[in-house]
C-alpha cells in the first residue's frame, strides 16, 4: 500500500508542496520490447517535471526504488533487471525485490549498503538527497504527479535515466486512455472520492481529480478546499448535503471501507450514490499511484460513469 493515514498526512504535505478492491483491474503493464525501443545513450542529463537536473555518466545497473510508483514504472519500462531493492511499500509487481527500506523515513546507511548507482524517490525526506550525495550516490526525485502529462513526463525521464526509452509505453497508455474516454458518455454528475475514514478527499486540481474530470464529473470537494491544498477534509454533513451520485472509496484495503460500511454511517443512507448502489470500491494502491496502472483507474471510473 502507498498512501494512507500517515499516508494522508504525507499526501497533504508532500503532494501539496510538489502533489480500491472490487471491480479494479490489476493487469501488469507490458514492458517495452527492446526491439521497438532503441537504447539510450550515456551520459545523459534528465530533468523531472518541476525538479532539478540530474546527470548520469553510465547506465545504472543497481537501482534502489523508494517509491512504489517508481517501482511499477521501472518494471513497466523493462528496467526491472536493473533494480536491486525496493521499499517496503512497493508491492507491485510481485517480482520486485521488496525490502524493509522506507521511502517515508529513509535510512541513508541502509540504502547505501545496497551499493546502488541510482536511487529513485518521490521526495527528499530527512535530507535523503544530500545524505546520499555525501557517499556519491545520485538520487532521482520524481514528485507526485499533478496531471496526466506529469505522469507521461516522469516515465520519459525514468526511461532516459535507465536506458529504456518510454515512447512505446507512453504511446500505449495515451491510446488506451483516449479510447476509454472516447467510448464513455460524459455525465455532469457529482462525485465524492474518499481517501480515508476522516473524510479527506481530492479536488479537481489534483492528479486523481483530473482523471475524474476526463468524464465530465463534478467534484463536491472543490468548494470545500478553502486553503487550496487540493486535499480538503470534509464533514459527514457536507457530503450528505452535497448528495453525490457517485462515491469512490480509496480506503477499502487500508481501512475496511465498503458500500456496506458507508451505508451504515448515520445519515448516509439518504445519499443518492448509496441509495442507487453506486458506491465504488477502488484498489487503494491504483488510486494513489501515478504510474502505468493509471489506465486501470481510468477504466474503473469509466465503468462507474457508464452505469450512473
Side-chain half-sphere CA neighbours of 148 within 13 A: 19
| Class of residue 187 by CB neighbours under 10 A (exposed 0-12, middle 13-18, buried 19+) | middle
Q: What pLDDT does residue 41 have?
A: 85
Category of 136 on φ-ψ map: left (φ > 0), alpha (ψ -120 to 50) or beta: left
Question: Per the structure block, which three cell numbers stand in for 37?
Answer: 525501443
Nearest in space to 292 (alpha carbons), one of 144, 99, 154, 141: 154
d(CA 135, CA 132): 5
Q: What is the pLDDT along the chain (308 residues), one digit of tens a residue?
A: 443 444 444 444 444 433 333 333 444 555 544 434 555 689 999 999 989 999 999 999 999 999 999 999 999 999 999 999 999 999 999 999 999 999 999 999 999 999 999 999 999 999 999 999 999 999 999 999 999 999 999 999 999 999 999 999 999 999 999 999 999 999 999 999 999 999 999 999 999 999 999 999 999 999 999 999 999 999 999 999 999 999 999 999 999 999 999 999 999 999 999 999 999 999 999 999 999 999 999 999 999 999 99
The pLDDT assigned to 39 comes to: 58
Amino acid at each position: 500500500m502507498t498512501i494512507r493515514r500517515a499516508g494522508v498526512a504525507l499526501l497533504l504535505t508532500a503532494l501539496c508542496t510538489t502533489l480500491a478492491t472490487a471491480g479494479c483491474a490489476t493487469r501488469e503493464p507490458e514492458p517495452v520490447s527492446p526491439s521497438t525501443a532503441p537504447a539510450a545513450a550515456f551520459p545523459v542529463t534528465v530533468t523531472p517535471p518541476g525538479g532539478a537536473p540530474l546527470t548520469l555518466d553510465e547506465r545504472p545497473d543497481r537501482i534502489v526504488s523508494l517509491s512504489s510508483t517508481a517501482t511499477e514504472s521501472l518494471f513497466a519500462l523493462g528496467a526491472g533487471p536493473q533494480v536491486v531493492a525496493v521499499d517496503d511499500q512497493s508491492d507491485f509487481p510481485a517480482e520486485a525485490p521488496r525490502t524493509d527500506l522506507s521511502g517515508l523515513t529513509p535510512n541513508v546507511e541502509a540504502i547505501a549498503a545496497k551499493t546502488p548507482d541510482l536511487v529513485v524517490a518521490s521526495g527528499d525526506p530527512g535530507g535523503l538527497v544530500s545524505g546520499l550525495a555525501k557517499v556519491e550516490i545520485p538520487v532521482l526525485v520524481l514528485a507526485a504527479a499533478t496531471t496526466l502529462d506529469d505522469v507521461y513526463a516522469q516515465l520519459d525521464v525514468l526511461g532516459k535515466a535507465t536506458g529504456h526509452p518510454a515512447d512505446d509505453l507512453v504511446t500505449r497508455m495515451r491510446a488506451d486512455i483516449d479510447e476509454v474516454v472516447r467510448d464513455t458518455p460524459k455525465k455532469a454528475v457529482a462525485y465524492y472520492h474518499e481517501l480515508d475514514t476522516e473524510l479527506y478527499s481530492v479536488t479537481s486540481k489534483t492528479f486523481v481529480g483530473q482523471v475524474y474530470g476526463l468524464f465530465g464529473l463534478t467534484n463536491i470537494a472543490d468548494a470545500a478546499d478553502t486553503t487550496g491544498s487540493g486535499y480538503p477534509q470534509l464533514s459527514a454533513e457536507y457530503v450528505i448535503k452535497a448528495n453525490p451520485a457517485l462515491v469512490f472509496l480509496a480506503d477499502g484495503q487500508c481501512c475496511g471501507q465498503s458500500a456496506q460500511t458507508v451505508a451504515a454511517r448515520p445519515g448516509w443512507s439518504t445519499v443518492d450514490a448509496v441509495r442507487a448502489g453506486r458506491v465504488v470500491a477502488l484498489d487503494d494502491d491504483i488510486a494513489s499511484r501515478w504510474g502505468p496502472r493509471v489506465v486501470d483507474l481510468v477504466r474503473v471510473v469509466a465503468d462507474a460513469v457508464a452505469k450512473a
